Amino acid sequence: MHGSETWRLTENNKRRVEATEVDAQRRSSRISRKEGIKNVTIRQQIGLEETIVKETEQNQLTWYGHVQRMVEGRLPKTAMKWMPKQKRARGRPKKNWIEGIRKAMNERNLNEGQWEDRKQWSLGVGQGRKAF
């Protein structure tokens, strides 16, 4: 999870990360796929409520709020606001990191400017997950 604040998760990457997570959960529980036990059931047995993708989104929103509270001249804030002058090359992703952040904010009913109140922002982002 180190550095997950800056990942741009595409749908393909989300599927891969979730598949790897479920595989690790199955291996740690010593449950084979041949047994036919659903992923949701395994997650409940372990005591996990959220997936690793949701945790990544929480990390991204936490980082976003942190950077937004920074003073204007700081490098992370400058880098977040920077926009390239050229068009994207052919085959590059059409959505960028900030669009993923906006989507996660909409899912959690967070608005621009709410990051000023840290407690309200952290409650809107959600709580961390338990390790398995």
Q: If you ran DSSP here, which 8-state letter would residue 13 be given?
A: H
pLDDT of residue 130: 47
Mean pLDDT, rounded, of the chain: 84
Distance CA 5, CA 96 (A): 13
Distance CA 32, CA 56 (A): 27
Distance CA 73, CA 95 (A): 26
Percent of the chain with pLDDT over 90: 13
Distance CA 6, CA 25 (A): 25
Q: Which residues of the chain have pLDDT under 50?
A: 128-132
pLDDT of residue 127: 52
pLDDT of residue 88: 76
Query: What's this model's pTM, rounded to 2 decimal places?
Result: 0.77
pLDDT of residue 15: 92
